[in-house]
Amino acid sequence: MIRLLMSLVLLAASAVAAAVSVEICEDGVPKSGWPGTPARATETFQEDAFGLFELPLKYVATGVRGDRAFPTLVRATGKVTLPAGKHRLLLRARGMARLLVDGRVIAETPFDQPRQFAVGNAGELPVEEQETFLELGPGARFLPPGNREVMAEAEFDGRAAEIVLETLIGGIEPKSKRPFRPELGETVAAISLAGSGDWKLLAPGEMTVPYTDAGWAAYTAPRRARFAAMNAAARATRRAEHAGYWNRRRAAARDWLAATPEVPVPALAAGFPAHNPIDHFVAARIAQVTADEKPSARAGGVDFFRDIKPILEANCFACHQGAKVKGGLQLDTRAAALRGGRGDGPAIVPGQPKASPLFQRITSHDPEEVMPAKGDRLRTADVALVERWIAEGAVWPEFAPGRRTLTPLAHDLAFLRRVSLDTVGVVPSEAEVSAFLADSAASRRARAIDRLLADPRWADHQMGYWLDVLAENPNLINPTLNNTGPFRWWLHESLLDGKPLDLLVTELIRLEGSERGGGPAGFGVASQNDVPAAAKGIILAGAFLGVEMKCARCHDAPTHAAKQSELFQLAAMLEKKPLKVPTTSSVPLDHLRVGGRTPMIEVTLAPGSTVEPAWPFGRFAGEASAAALAERPDDPRDRLAALVTAPQNERFAQVLANRLWQRLMGRGLVETVGDWEKSAPTHPELLRWLGREFVRGGYDLRALARLILNSHAYQRAADPALAAPSPLFAAHAPRRINAEQLVDSLFAATGKPFAVEQVCLDLDSVRTIENALDLGQATRAWMLGSTSNERDRPSLMLPRIQAVADVMEVFGWRGARPDASSGIRENAANVLQPALLSNGTMMTWLTRLSDDHGLGLLAMEEQPVERLVERIFLRLFTRPPTPEEKSTYVAALKPGYAGRVVARAEPVPAPAERRKYVAWSNHMKSEANTLRLEQEAAARRGDPPTTRLAPEWRTRFEDVIWALLNAPEWTSVL
């Protein structure tokens, strides 16, 4: 014991003067209790005070989040000089902790609390226990949930004392032997000097941190930013360690570009404007389509895209579209229909409906012959249309070109709003508008694009899209619904770092790092799924190769080329070993032999068979050339990563370029972005060119975005009459705003703080890491998660998050993402959208002028009422009001405007009360339910209105805000 204390003193003496040295020790820490000899520090950083709440994160491999050891010991050491006397010391921590003064343990909190874990895990901890806590005096900060505290007295002699604060995080739950989340909670040593009622953090230097709510907030805020910077630096260091390999990859990409022919940029067609080569391609296509066009068969004739294509889509395409079709008959192009299938020969004889098998089939009364084979007969009106269409010659253009005269450039402010929503996901602020307008007219657009692409909010805006496409699906408790780990954090950091997409996708496929702490390993998980690797194969194929493999999960796809064996080959590469096909991942053969027709689907891979790892997409990239690029060619998973991301695999670069194009232009060059079998590119040369530019730019998504955003095609005005963007990109169509853009913009534009609960149901950490996640404090809409309350218990509701999620769900966001999305969300208008915007709880917050509401503060500024209306329009709509709008809202706000601001004394804050909390640990208790229902009622009520505005005028202003926020204009990107 003496030796131990001696060494602790020595450790303390080695600390830098006037600083707290924080050591992280991952080696040799026992599973329970303190190490016998001091654990060796594996990482060290400096702190100003004995207040710990976050550690620098650990990064592994190329810079992905990893796990620290379970448990990890954290030791903070520093010299503190205190006046002589007997002072009170406070120790708080989430993990087991102890506080030593000059080598003597003076306070210790326990870790092993079997009752807490057992009872809390069952949700049965009495809420009343929260009434028992240390009385520290008025103003002191209350103990946050899940932390433990102890107070002690210690005698100081006026000389510098050695202080050591130690804690174990990520401890092992004694019964299950599984770790808790590695959280510091609020690990603090605070002091109250003799004769004083105040508490402050122990600190070695000049710094004084009052241990109050305000003091703690002021202490933590700059440190969070500092940790973010330290984490970014740590990621950069890890990535630099792999620079050798990735520089070789860059060189290989350059070599490949040099060895393969460039796509010539066409000369600019006469009469078309151009900002960059994109416009040359777009103009050339319009010119070509116009030149090729035959005069319309007959005025008033059947229009293929208006009249016939919807019939084919609804009745035929399920079986007769794409690479693999029933009876060999493809009905998605004119050439294919004329070529025909195995049984009937050419499906159409132009001009002769009665001789066309297609027409014979839809009119047949023989159940063996009639088409569609399943479902209802074609409606008589549709049959008549098909007959007329064939009779008129079966005119079938390649695609419906739609509008082909270009709209002019969008107005500057319309452009700014659109480009802001498309890059940082929120509408521009007044300051951003001013900065934009301050630049010269010639340069302001390009400069705004550069600013926005350099903005860290770019990463936020990308998140919602990729979480959908990659089907991130963390569950706050008990992951059982095809859940993944929260790999959102790795993804967000990768986007913040502007990581090249080939590296990002390589990291994803390598599945390294932390599974529950936010690393790509979390992508590999699919709880309760019989073959998680197959589920991931489907996602990867759709996301990065445009290959739809959902059907191949259980059988060969009836209308896609993918075979089940190919999906399992892919899955086996991910698993790094041969994979057995379980019965549950197949279709029983007796299901296939129902009725007289050929079965729709085939099963060529018998359940129980074993599939070896193999690359099933030789059609995109030959295995030999690309696998040579792998860092570890013997590792099937790493080989897969190289095969997907290699420059030789042109599909990869083109699929990503097409995804970005679709998001910015409203329609993909290949319309079905996740399934390239179902539509052909409208602009094949442009697609290839963009793919090569993406490779040339080092797979930098932002560089590619810069190219598209600067094009005239992107900057053109929207044609409000278009229901969908023109396939020739002559004009934008209004696009439905997505859920994240809408919610983030509403909060940003009104200036109301986005205040929701911590995204966590295990606030006090009684559950082990597998069974409870903490997704932290959301600051942007994408950070929310599913609040799915399958248990239907009021106590498990998060009412403020739910109020926001309700709005997001009706605008197409999915909190739970059990399956992969193509990336294109359903965007039809539905009645719930305006309902929640007019009467929902979130809108109550946004339309109530509380003390912290940005528009309330704006209204208090000294300015004419006309100016107020103009500025509100600028903030909400990025445009000035029309004369009619201006007069309407000025008229509404004018009465009482002069006397709107009420002088008031700053209210004296009421003494804080310890607020009880509801968490998993107590959710089965009646009191917890009652408490949660009170929170729900409070959320619904919203914050109280400010008393600084006269109530009569304020309510009128609120009504104006309500009307402005409910304008249909909000729901579109123009």
Partner 1 sequence: MNRRNFLTQSAALATVAASPRALATATAAALPKGRAEHCIFLWLGGGMAQIDTFDPKRRGNPKSKPMVAGSDYAAIDTAVPGVRYTEHLARTAQLAEHVTAVRTINHTLGIEHALATNFVHTGRPVSGSTVYPSLGSVVAHQRGAADERVPAYMVIGYPSVSRGPGFLGAKHGYIHLVDTESGPAGFTAPDGIDAARMAERRRLLAPLQKNTGDGTSLDDYAEAQREALRLAGPGFMRHFKLAEEPAALREGYGGEFGQRCLLARRLVQAGVRFIEVSHNLNFINGAGWDTHNAGQLNQHVLIRELDAALGSLIADLKAKKLLDKTLIALGTEFGRPGQFDSGGGRGHQSACFSLLLAGGGLRHRGAYGVTNELSGKPVENPVSVPDFHATIYAALGINPGKELVSASRPVPITDGGKPIAALFG
Residues between 330 and 359 that touch partner 1 (CB under 8 A): 343
Closest CB to partner 1 among residues 16, 122: 122
3-class SS of residue 669: coil
Chain Cα centroid distance, residue 129: 38
In the window 220-279, what residues touch partner 1 (CB under 8 A)? none
Tell me which amino acid residue 416 is.
Answer: L
Q: 78 with 146: CB under 8 angstroms?
A: no
Q: Among 160, 717, 722, 902, which residue interacts with partner 1 (rule: CB under 8 A)?
A: 722
In the window 589-628, what residues touch partner 1 (CB under 8 A)? 589-591, 593-598, 600
Question: Least distance from C-beta 830 to partner 1, angstroms?
Answer: 6
User: 890: Cβ–Cβ under 8 A, 6 or more apart, which residues?
Assistant: 865, 866, 869
In the window 794-853, what residues touch partner 1 (CB under 8 A)? 794-795, 797, 802, 805-806, 809-810, 812, 815-816, 818-820, 826-836, 838-841, 843-844
Joined together, the tokens standing for residue 591 give: 């299901």
If one asks whether residue 480 binds partner 1 (CB under 8 A), the answer comes out as yes
If one asks whether residue 555 binds partner 1 (CB under 8 A), the answer comes out as no
**CA separation, residue 511 to residues 182, 480, 522, 536, 897 (Å):** 21, 20, 7, 11, 60
Q: 817 with 856: CB under 8 angstroms?
A: no
The window from 262-270, 492-500, 759-767, 939-947 that contacts partner 1 (CB under 8 A) reads 939-947
Q: Among 231, 654, 682, 971, which residue interacts with partner 1 (rule: CB under 8 A)?
A: 971
Question: Least distance from C-beta 32 to partner 1, angstroms?
Answer: 26
In the window 109-138, what residues touch partner 1 (CB under 8 A)? 122, 124
Distance, CA of 476 to CA of 206 (rounded, Å): 42
- From residue 514 to residue 553, the character string flagging contacts with partner 1 as x (rule: CB under 8 A) and all else as - is ------------x-xx--x-xx--x-----------xx-x
Joined together, the tokens standing for residue 623 give: 């295995």
- From residue 50 to residue 89, the character string flagging contacts with partner 1 as x (rule: CB under 8 A) and all else as - is ----------------------------------------
Can you name the residues that pair with 285 across neighbouring β-strands?
A: none
Q: Among 244, 375, 907, 909, which residue interacts with partner 1 (rule: CB under 8 A)?
A: 375
Closest CB to partner 1 among residues 175, 298: 175
Q: 657 with 281: CB under 8 angstroms?
A: no
Cis amide linkage into residue 372, ω under 30° from 0: yes
Q: What is 610-640 written as a DSSP string?
A: EE------TTTS-HHHHHTT-SSTTSHHHHH
User: 360: Cβ–Cβ under 8 A, 6 or more apart, which residues?
Assistant: 354, 369
Q: Among 116, 130, 420, 475, which residue interacts with partner 1 (rule: CB under 8 A)?
A: 475
Q: Among 244, 295, 909, 968, which residue interacts with partner 1 (rule: CB under 8 A)?
A: 968
Question: Least distance from C-beta 781 to partner 1, angstroms?
Answer: 17
If one asks whether residue 950 binds partner 1 (CB under 8 A), the answer comes out as no
Question: Least distance from C-beta 823 to partner 1, angstroms?
Answer: 14
Residue count (the chain):
974
Q: What is the DSSP letter of 28?
A: S
Closest CB to partner 1 among residues 494, 795: 795
The window from 386-394, 441-449, 760-768, 952-960 that contacts partner 1 (CB under 8 A) reads 952-960
Q: 615 with 573: CB under 8 angstroms?
A: yes
The window from 226-234, 490-498, 706-714, 789-797 that contacts partner 1 (CB under 8 A) reads 789-797
Distance, CA of 571 to CA of 565 (rounded, Å): 10
Q: Among 138, 720, 899, 951, which residue interacts with partner 1 (rule: CB under 8 A)?
A: 720
| CA-based nearest residue to 320, from 342, 304, 302, 305 | 342
If one asks whether residue 750 binds partner 1 (CB under 8 A), the answer comes out as no
If one asks whether residue 376 binds partner 1 (CB under 8 A), the answer comes out as no
If one asks whether residue 786 binds partner 1 (CB under 8 A), the answer comes out as yes
Question: Least distance from C-beta 825 to partner 1, angstroms?
Answer: 10
Distance, CA of 132 to CA of 114 (rounded, Å): 19
Closest CB to partner 1 among residues 181, 736: 736
- From residue 873 to residue 912, the character string flagging contacts with partner 1 as x (rule: CB under 8 A) and all else as - is -----------xx--xx--x--------------------
Distance, CA of 675 to CA of 691 (rounded, Å): 17
If one asks whether residue 972 binds partner 1 (CB under 8 A), the answer comes out as yes
Question: Least distance from C-beta 553 to partner 1, angstroms?
Answer: 5
Q: Among 212, 407, 679, 930, which residue interacts with partner 1 (rule: CB under 8 A)?
A: 930
Size of the site for partner 1 (CB under 8 A): 111
Distance, CA of 552 to CA of 616 (rounded, Å): 13
Closest CB to partner 1 among residues 145, 666: 666
Distance, CA of 304 to CA of 312 (rounded, Å): 10
Return the axis-axis angle of helices 684-696 and 277-292, rounded to nearest 10°: 170
Q: What is 497-548 written as a DSSP string?
A: TT--HHHHHHHHHHT-S-TTTTSGGGGG--TT-S-HHHHHHHHHHHHHH---
Closest CB to partner 1 among residues 595, 911: 595
